[in-house]
Structure 1
Amino acid sequence: MTTRLLLEIAAGSLGLWVLSCAAMVLLARRLPAGLLKDAAEFLPACVTTAGRLRAHDDVPRRAKVALLIAIVWVISPIDLLPEFLPVIGPLDDVLAAVLLLRYAARAIPRDVLVDAWPGEPRLLERLLGSEPRDTVVR
């Protein structure tokens, strides 16, 4: 195989991947409100929150390290469960993001955490668990 052919295959694969990601985002936005839409928005909301909190001065260093690990875990192409497996493929990403964000949330001021969350406030409440906390109001 020539180098040109390999580059064309790589470019075609990358283009196909970008188009499929764009199609998934567009289709997810058209989902009706409910559990499926919440599930589609959950992981991107966790990653966005982790990125916002890493830049905040009120977040302790150990929480920033946990958030960095969460971001790297989600964007890393290396997974415990391959992404191509239907339904269970993204579970390791979701589990890592949830556990690391919950760990970091213990050390982050509540108002900072709420301001960083881009999604539905009730999803944040579910993420944080049943610990006694103030009600999230947006």
Structure 2
Amino acid sequence: MDIVWKIVIGAGAGVVAVWLTLIVALLLAGRRYQRPGLGEMLRLLPDLLRLLKRLASDAALPHGVRIRLWLLLAYLAVPIDLIPDFIPVIGYADDAIIVALALRSVARRAGPHALRQHWPGSPAGLDAVLRTAGIHG
């Protein structure tokens, strides 16, 4: 019975270590990629969700891009997060960082014209999304 507890404690410590590593990676990625302010991106959230759904449904985009977008939408829909939302600031920042990284990946693979074609919001909002994705002009 002693060996079982050692395995359980070791597995638990491993899960906690992986979780902490992911949190640190998200924080570092957030500093690097978060160009518009977090508040600005949260105001764009409804338009971003419509954009993601439109891009994921576009058959003209590469299959891998659409799969990434559906996985992102599933992550956003599931109430379980890497960092719980009740933790101030970083609880919601992990979702914003993951969306920014996914948008950057999609924009590089599908091209900025796909973002422009499917954007449902204002030109200023599109400009903020393009800056977040690392696309200038």
TM-score, normalised by the number of residues in structure 2: 0.62
Given that 1:63 and 1:105 are in contact with CA atoms closer than 8 Å, whether structure 2 keeps it comes out as no
Q: Which amino acid aligns with 2:106?
A: A
Cα pair distance change 1:98/1:60, threshold 3 Å: same
| Distance in structure 2 (CA, Å) of the matches to 1:95 and 1:36 | 9
| Distance in structure 2 (CA, Å) of the matches to 1:97 and 1:86 | 19
Offset from partner CA, 1:56-81 (integer Å, 9 cap, x none): 12211000011111111111111111
Instruction: Give 2:32's aligned residue.
Output: none
Given that 2:100 and 2:132 are in contact with CA atoms closer than 8 Å, whether structure 1 keeps it comes out as yes
Unaligned ranges ≥5, structure 2 = 1-35
* Residue 77 (structure 1) aligned with residue 82 (structure 2): no
CA RMSD for the aligned pairs? 2.3
* Correspondence for 2:129 among 117, 124, 131: 124
Please, which moves more after superposition, 93-102 or 38-47?
Answer: 38-47
Instruction: Give 2:89's aligned residue.
Output: 87
* Correspondence for 2:117 among 115, 119, 122: 115
Aligned-residue offset at 1:35? 5.2
Cα pair distance change 1:82/1:108, threshold 3 Å: same
Given that 1:50 and 1:71 are in contact with CA atoms closer than 8 Å, whether structure 2 keeps it comes out as yes
TM-score, normalised by the number of residues in structure 1: 0.61
| Distance in structure 2 (CA, Å) of the matches to 1:45 and 1:98 | 14
Instruction: Give 1:10's aligned residue.
Output: none
Given that 1:74 and 1:93 are in contact with CA atoms closer than 8 Å, whether structure 2 keeps it comes out as yes
Identity across matched positions, percent: 30
Cα pair distance change 1:98/1:115, threshold 3 Å: same
SS in 2 for 1:62: helix
| Distance in structure 2 (CA, Å) of the matches to 1:100 and 1:110 | 13
Given that 1:73 and 1:96 are in contact with CA atoms closer than 8 Å, whether structure 2 keeps it comes out as no
Cα pair distance change 1:104/1:35, threshold 3 Å: closer
Larger relative helix fraction: 2
Given that 1:59 and 1:109 are in contact with CA atoms closer than 8 Å, whether structure 2 keeps it comes out as no
